Structures are given as C-alpha cells and as structure tokens.
Amino acid sequence: MATDTTASSYWLNWRVLCCALILLAPLLLAAILIWRDEGKRREGREHPGTLFQDEAWSTCYKRVHPRWLLAFRVFSFAAMLSLLVSNVVRDGGGIFYFYTQWTFTLVTLYFGYASLLSIYGCCIHNKEAGGNIESYTSIHDPEQGTYRPPITSDGAGTTPKSPIEHSEAPVREAAGFWVYVFQVQFQTCAGAVVLTDIVFWALIYPFTNGYKLSFLDVCMHSLNAVFLLGDTCLNSLRFPLFRISYFVLWSCIYVAYQWIIHAFKNLWWPYQFLSLSSPYAPLWYLGVTVMHIPCFAVFALVIKMKRSLLRRHNS
C-alpha cells in the first residue's frame, strides 16, 4: 500500500529534513542575489539588472519593425491560451496539480502581457517615426548594452559626435516597475520551460509503458519552449544571470504547494521524484535542484549566440 502522507511519521524523519535543507539553501541564495542586484541604480553606468522601457517591445534586429514582434506575441498567446483551455475542458481543473500546467500558464500570461506591451510600444514608435517601416533601425548594441548618456547642451559627459549622430541618439527612458516584472517573468519562463520539457521527455515519458501521447500532450510539452525561443530570437531583452533566483523561487513555491497538500490529504505524487518516502529522496531533490542551472543556461546560451551573430552581421 502507498504510504499515508498525512501521518506524522511521514514528515518527522531525516529524509524530509535533508530535502528541506536542500530547498532552503537555494532559496537563501536566491534571496541574497535579489537583495544585492535587483532594482539598483548606479550613476553614470549600467549594472546587470539595468533595463530600459523600450526593451520590452523593440526588436534586436535592424530594420525589423516592432509590429512583427507584436504579431508573433499575439499569435503565440492565442495558440497557447487555446491549448490551455482545451486541456482544462478535456481533463478538468486538476491539471494544475502538475508543474507542466503551472509553467504553461505562466508562459501564456507572459505572451499576453508581452502583447500589451508591444501594442503600447508600437503606438509610441509610430508616433515618433510616423509609422514608416523603412525608417526603423534598432538602437540596441547587443554587446555593449543599450545605454546612451543623455545629450546635454555643452556635450559634457558624451563622446564627440557628428550632427547626424546627435539627431539620431535618443535619450533612453529607464524602465518602470511593470517592465521589470515583465523581465522577471521572461527569465522565469525561460528556465521553467526547459526544466519542464527535459523532465517530461527524458525522465517521465521513457518510463511510461505503452502510454500513447495525444496531440495535446505533445503540444503542452513542446510549444511552450518553441514559442519562447522564437520570442527570444526577436526581442531585445537582456538575460542577467542573477535572475535565476526567480526561477528557483518559482520551483520552490510549487514544491511547497505539493508538500502542504500532501500534509493534509493523502494523495499520489504527480512526480515520483517528489515523494519523500524513498531513502533516495534527498538525492532526487538535490539532482532536480542542480538541474536548474543548465536549464537556465540554455536560454543564456541562445542569447549569447544571438548577440554573436548580430556582431558579425553589423561588422
């Protein structure tokens, strides 16, 4: 018989203590990184967490109008929302018992929010550039960042520039709170979709004997990453590594949710490596915790490759 997860003996043992410590260690590190790096400003230069308002909706390629990014985001949002609703209709609200649906919902919300920001950005761009697609040129330097010092009347604090350069270098508006929320959501999604898809295709599906995947199952465990990779290739968002903290927080919140449910109700675990009854539970928890690093690094590598290609194209 399955172990009763509501029994005190299930929780008061060395395994749970070890797993709790394994969860608390990255949580503490994440809190330190957020406190140290998030939202700080430094006079005269950028730091890894710096973000500008237009980075939420502009593209990273020259002469690619932001409306193309808007179109991609709207399509992605509509497709993912349709799949999510279909999944709820087919299987009920119990799907949110799984990390997959948590992440899929987060990515869906990301594209919905991204679409709103892109609509706003296109309105701003059309007002400034007259809506001329041919006049659009990306102002983002993929290697040096996007900071440009404000132009002053005496030229103090700036490098000598020609009159044309002076007319084309706008003063960047620092991002507000909601754009930072968008950036955090983007980086949380980036790590979570890779973790979700790798765990499903490498650790779960190979051991499901005779289980036939439906079209919806395949989409739920693949399109989240496909759409987010497409957005990553087009957008101009940065990827500071300290924001892996939010990805860690996201996963820890899910684990805490599972622990609380199982402490009050005897249920099966959605993923066997979350079960605390096995003497190998601490090793499973440690392994999944360490997996967060390469999963987050996948999108960091994609952005690094994108920047390298942009440098070659612009040189």
- From first to last of its 315 residues, the chain has per-residue pLDDT tens of 468 999 999 999 999 999 999 999 999 999 999 998 886 654 445 677 788 899 999 999 878 889 999 999 999 999 999 999 999 999 999 999 999 999 999 999 999 999 999 999 999 877 776 545 444 444 444 444 443 444 333 444 444 444 444 444 456 788 889 999 999 999 999 999 999 999 999 989 988 887 888 999 999 999 999 999 999 999 999 999 999 999 999 999 999 999 999 999 999 999 999 999 999 999 999 999 999 999 999 999 999 999 998 888 776
pTM: 0.86
H helices within the chain, ranges in order? 8-11, 14-37, 66-91, 99-129, 163-168, 177-198, 215-220, 223-234, 244-264, 281-314
CA angle 264, 84, 106 (to 5 degrees): 70
CA distance 16 to 275: 10
pLDDT value for 39: 66
CA 4 to chain centre: 36
pLDDT value for 233: 94
Burial profile 94-123: b = 16 or more Cβ within 10 angstroms, e = fewer: ebebbbbbbbbbbbbbbbbbbbbbbbebbe
Number of helices (H), then strands (E), in the chain: 10, 0
pLDDT value for 2: 66
CA distance 172 to 52: 7
CA distance 79 to 188: 20
Residue type, 109: L
pLDDT value for 198: 95
CA distance 64 to 157: 31
What count of other Cβ atoms lies within 10 Å of the Cβ of residue 244? 24
CA distance 41 to 49: 9
